[in-house]
Amino acid sequence: MSHDKLRHEKNCLNCGQIVEERFCTHCGQENLQIQDSAFHLILHYIQDLFHYNGKIWHTLKNLIVKPGLVPVEYMEGKRMRNLDPVRFYVFSSTVFFLILFFIVNVREWHEPPPSELNYTKRLYNLNQEKKFLKGAPDTAYVNLLIAPLIAKQDSAGTLDSTSSGSSFQLDLGTPPTDTTDSGWLSKLIGKRAEQRRQELEEKHSGDAGSAATDFFDEVFHKLPLLLFLSMPFFALFLKLLYLRSFRKRYVDHFIFSVYHYAFLFMITSLFMIVNYGMNKVHHPWVEAILNYGTGLFFLYLAVYLWLSMKRFYLDRWYYRLPRYLILMFLLMGTMLLLFVLIFMVTVVM
């Protein structure tokens, strides 16, 4: 129930009926004073998530303590105590990716050298200037500047001294020259990959490390799409694996999958926060605990799915084991294919 003030007027703003007390008996809307400030909207969203009768914490507790119980209760119609799957998934995925993108910064993986020592970038700019001045007398002066930079680059053992000064590649294979459909598509993708390489090269003035980092940062920020797309396949694999044993609809498997993914997001978020905090303490004992803890965490995730399937599907372990192994194999293969697809989309877009 909201703590906002009630309106003095007794007409329902939603349906126009007379409201005797707090809620309209016709449509159920609270007769509250209208507040349209941004602060109120944000506060309402936070209250809806955290103060929602404690559902979010109750759901998470049930998922941790009793794997598979929440989707079982949802399918049985016991839906008041736990958060519905879509709301829980949206909240958990939002928290997970906010924490992930805060902790993991791909752009920090490559730190470009100072401007005066970035020979690759300086060579690229001089080569661009050389192309602009092609045929003019000033070209000789540019060549005089290029020669010592190439010598310094070679002596410093940095990137290879190609004509462009860049080693960034975005190679998806040499496109075939035939006119078949597959050859045409491969040729088109290869052409677009070369355009993207040139765009990134120009954006970073030939700095191959910065260009590669920029590209993989784009791929990394498409990780939510990868996990979102894999979830329907996860449910489909469960449907196929239990096709002859249980008369469950696809939506039943999908609800199980949504709760499972949401749980993974929440528990992994907690693990990342703890891991991030402990990494700040530079001590051999802490590092040892982190190493063992990481291994135990991934073992826990594997065992958790096994226990969830046991409670939800009620099958015997010798039937469940091959299904579990096949499910893991299919899921890993699907996520690999989806990653390749997202990688190629990042190249083309």
Share of the chain above pLDDT 90, in %: 29
Give 304-318 pLDDT, tens digit per residue: 999 999 999 988 888
Exposed, middle or buried, 118 (CB in 10 Å: 0-12/13-18/19+)? buried
Residue 231 near residue 257, CB atoms below 8 Å: yes
Share of the chain above pLDDT 70, in %: 70
Give 14-39 pLDDT, tens digit per residue: 787 788 788 887 787 777 766 656 66
Tell me the mean pLDDT in the region 32-51: 64
Helical segments of the chain, H only: 38-50, 55-65, 69-75, 85-103, 119-132, 139-156, 181-203, 208-220, 223-241, 250-279, 284-313, 317-348
pLDDT for res 327: 96
